[in-house]
Chain A
């Protein structure tokens, strides 16, 4: 089962209606089931340098080490564990590269980026994120936010200081507590989840969820699920119609078919005796 047959992937990135400049970056590697989204910030418009470095380094880095040779013999649990450690390692590498670049070039000083990256394998998904770019999942017509923002507002909600309803009106939006490239070291939050046929995953920058409500995102994904490209376009359009105050990026992954790993002969033999 080739991943490219099982997963339908589409993505759009738009500068929005207010900013002249798109500092979001998106990259997908359908053959290995990797999607990466980054929302750059800071440093005299060097945000796009940071986000570009993040997506490119992580996608490329993953492609180099996430190979059949390396994962072909692994059990599902071992593959999941390996995907987590590789993702953390790639985030570290990208972080270091962006941090160093920011130190060297005065125009890039202070640049950083959020990040959300997913790798799909053997009917599971490993997601790592830093900052307030999000992963949502639509399953059985219900939309759920999978990642928890690393933001001041989320910390306020978590500590009971502000209700979710009041948070919509907060002026403290867009203040992230964690980003890639700002400190010499950063640790991404990484989790692995089971994936079911029919799931649709949405990676997005805050330019989407700050402009339109989760209800509208859910309704759009349900109504247009047979046309993934149109879903992506419609989400971006809705964000722009609502003001488009920030760059908006959307990546959609639809699980058309189940994608169990092709296990090598050894693993098959092992499983007979398990």
Chain B
């Protein structure tokens, strides 16, 4: 479950779990999170939680609501976002599952619409779980809840000044061991001799469409060339390629549809 850590002047006050569909923040005591400070409006903001996603919305407060230093009206919360209300800070945590649960991450699951939306009242209401009673199994349970980042000890101020925007949680990125070395090809013969082409895209096609075409793919572990179309295959350093992808090494000489080109890593 996602949570917030409320602090002021670097001192942690409390931790709040976002269990309800609507979590209110404000100065008045009826709020779920009461922030007792004159810079905070009676009803200042609300956090709407839909299963694993949370949004914060400013409720036309006098002094506004900031997220990572920027004033917002409505904002989709990302892991490590810092909300500011008056002088108080709330850090939002919604971590991705730990490594051991990786196999369950991305698992498709079915969610049912609740039979009737429960009216939101002060006592915490359960998150919108399926109304039907399914057999107890992994099928209709929610995805295993993320193991959350451990709470920082009160001694050390847990909230860094929001200098940079929050990082995107679990956005699929190229699983690169290290940074991919930049590379390019330089045309050595033919009409385009002397020209070079940086291999920045994941796929770069070379050759003559309808005659002979190969594709150079940019992958986490290097660059590979694969024959795409044509009755004859390109040569690498004089040797004719097979049908499989072949890894390219620094200064490899490729010849395709009569044109020679050199593959090289940029310094």
Contacts and interface: CB of A to CB of B under 8 A. Distances in A.
Contact of A246 (B106, B143, B175, B215): B106
Contact of B139 (A41, A178, A206): A41
Interface stretch (A61-69, A70-78, A160-168, A249-257): A160-168
Interface stretch (B118-126, B186-194, B201-209): B201-209
B32 to A, nearest CB: 20
B134 A172 contact: no
A245 interface: yes
A134 B157 CA distance: 47
Interface in A138-178: 152, 156, 161-163, 166, 168-178
B226 A230 contact: yes
Interface in B197-245: 201-203, 205, 209, 213, 215, 217, 219-220, 226, 228-229
A57 interface: no
Contacts of B213: 226
A111 B135 CA distance: 10
B175 A242 contact: yes
B189 to A, nearest CB: 24
A110 B113 contact: no
A226 B110 contact: no
Nearest to A213: B172
Contacts of A182: 110, 139
B161 interface: no
Interface string B21-37: 00000000000000000
Contacts of A198: none
Given A110-B140, A230-B228, A174 B108 contact: yes
A211 B105 CA distance: 12
Interface in B121-139: 134-135, 137-139
Contacts of A171: 51-53, 94, 96, 169-170
Interface of A is mostly: loop
B72 interface: no
Contacts of B113: 177
B3 to A, nearest CB: 13
A224 B215 contact: yes
B137 to A, nearest CB: 4
A171 B102 CA distance: 14
B128 to A, nearest CB: 10
B111 interface: yes
A223 interface: yes
Given A220-B203, A241-B175, A179 B102 contact: no
A226 B213 CA distance: 9
A166 B76 contact: yes
Contact of A114 (B96, B108, B173, B175): B108
A112 B209 CA distance: 44
A42 B110 contact: yes
Interface in B161-184: 168-175
Contacts of A152: 50-51, 111
B14 interface: no
B171 A168 contact: yes
B108 A162 contact: no
A266 interface: no
A131 to B, nearest CB: 7
A197 interface: no
A234 B217 contact: yes
A238 interface: yes
Given A44-B138, A112-B139, A18 B106 contact: yes
A1 interface: no
Contacts of B111: 152, 175-177
Interface in A182-213: 182, 206-207, 210-212
A174 B53 CA distance: 13
A243 interface: yes
B266 interface: no
Nearest to A173: B106
Task: Select the residue from A41, A44, A206, A207 with max chain B CB neighbours within 10 A.
Answer: A41
B109 interface: yes
A18 B174 contact: no
A108 to B, nearest CB: 10
14 contacts: A20-B103, A44-B137, A152-B51, A152-B111, A168-B168, A170-B52, A172-B53, A173-B106, A176-B108, A177-B111, A179-B110, A223-B203, A227-B229, A246-B106
Given A44-B137, A210-B106, 15 more contacts: A41-B109, A41-B110, A131-B108, A162-B55, A168-B171, A171-B51, A173-B106, A174-B108, A175-B51, A175-B109, A175-B111, A176-B109, A212-B172, A226-B229, A243-B175
Interface of B: 50-53, 55, 76, 78, 94, 96, 102-103, 105-113, 134-135, 137-140, 143, 168-175, 201-203, 205, 209, 213, 215, 217, 219-220, 226, 228-229
Please give me the 4 A-B residue pairs with the lowest Cβ-Cβ distance, nearest first: A110-B139, A171-B52, A42-B139, A226-B229
